[in-house]
């Protein structure tokens, strides 16, 4: 179950989003951040949080996912994940930093999707990650979705293991949020 803990990391990653050239964006609504981890024997772990912040700094955009309320559905597993593996006391957030120029935005109503590279910081380690994103402009709002794949070992996170069950280090992260320009 501990394996799940790591998962946290994942969440942040996915955050891809698009911004238009000059307009600053800010998050609206309730975001959805999830990571998907797996273990032996078909075991699947899904961790979720609805906390995500967008910091549009102009030349780049930082997506920050607080990890304190990351839940996998089992309290003890969450406890292990946050304290033993993510160590959120020292590393409370996962952050994806993306150059604005790496993102494409729809012109007018519509949607665009693409792949980009950003800098992911988790557990005190930073590594470039590739992610896939979709940005749709609907009614003046941007609906942003992103997915990425992480290896928790890249971030110095121990591979979770509990009572003989060890989680695989690879996790998938997906993020969805809306933003206003």
Partner 1 sequence: MTSAWVRRAISLVIVACACAFVLLASRPAHAFPWMIREGYTGCNTCHADPSGAGILTAYGRGMEEVVLRTPYKKDADPGKLGNFAWSVDLPEQLLLQTDFRNLFLTLVPSGGTTQFQDVVMQLDQSAQLKIGRFRMNGSIGYSPPSTADGNFTFTGGGLGATLTDAPGVDGALIARQYWLGVDIGKDEEFLLRAGRMNVPFGIRTIEHPFLVRQVTRTDIDKGQEHGVSLAYTGEKVRGEIMAIAGNFAIRPDDFRERGGSGFVEWMPSTKVAIGASAMITHADQARTDYDISLAAAPIWRHAYAVHARISPVKPLVILAEFDALLNSQLVAGVSENHGGVVGLLQADLQVYQGIHVLAAGEFYNGHVGETSTYNTTTATAWLGAWWFFAPHLDFRIDGVYSSGSAPGLPPSNQGTSLLAQIHGYL
Name the residues that contact partner 1, by CB under 8 A. 1, 38-46, 72-77, 79, 162-165
Q: Which is nearer to partner 1, 12 or 45 (CB)?
A: 45
Which residue in 146, 120, 121, 143 sits closest to 133, CA to CA?
A: 146
| Secondary structure (3-state) at 4 | helix
Shortest Cβ 78–partner 1 spacing (Å)? 8
Q: Which is nearer to partner 1, 23 or 74 (CB)?
A: 74
Q: Which is nearer to partner 1, 34 or 122 (CB)?
A: 34
Shortest Cβ 72–partner 1 spacing (Å)? 8
Q: Which is nearer to partner 1, 69 or 126 (CB)?
A: 69
Instruction: Please give the span between the terminal C-alpha atoms of the chain, in angstroms, as a whole number.
Output: 40
| Secondary structure (3-state) at 102 | helix
Shortest Cβ 58–partner 1 spacing (Å)? 40
Q: How far apart are CA 140 and CA 58, in angstroms?
A: 20
Residues in the chain: 181
Q: Which is nearer to partner 1, 73 or 156 (CB)?
A: 73
Shortest Cβ 108–partner 1 spacing (Å)? 35
Q: How far apart are CA 171 and CA 123, in angstroms?
A: 15
Shortest Cβ 45–partner 1 spacing (Å)? 7
Contact criterion met (CB below 8 Å) for 17 and 146: yes
């Amino acid at each position: 179950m501990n394996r799940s803990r790591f998962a946290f990391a994942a969440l942040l990653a996915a955050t891809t989003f698009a911004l238009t050239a000059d307009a600053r964006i800010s998050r609206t609504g309730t975001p959805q951040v999830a990571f998907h981890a797996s273990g032996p024997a078909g075991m699947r772990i899904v961790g979720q949080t609805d906390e995500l912040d967008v910091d549009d700094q102009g030349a780049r955009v930082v997506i920050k996912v607080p990890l304190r309320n990351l839940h996998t559905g089992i309290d003890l597993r969450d406890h292990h994940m946050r304290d033993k593996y993510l160590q959120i006391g020292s590393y409370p957030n996962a952050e994806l930093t993306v150059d604005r120029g790496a993102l494409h935005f729809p012109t007018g109503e519509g949607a665009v999707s693409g792949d980009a590279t950003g800098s992911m910081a988790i557990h005190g380690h930073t590594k470039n990650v590739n992610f896939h994103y979709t940005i749709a402009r609907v009614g003046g709002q941007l609906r942003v979705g992103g997915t990425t794949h992480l290896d928790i070992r890249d971030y110095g996170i121990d591979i979770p293991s509990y009572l003989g069950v060890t989680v695989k280090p690879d996790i998938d992260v997906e993020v969805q949020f809306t933003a206003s320009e």
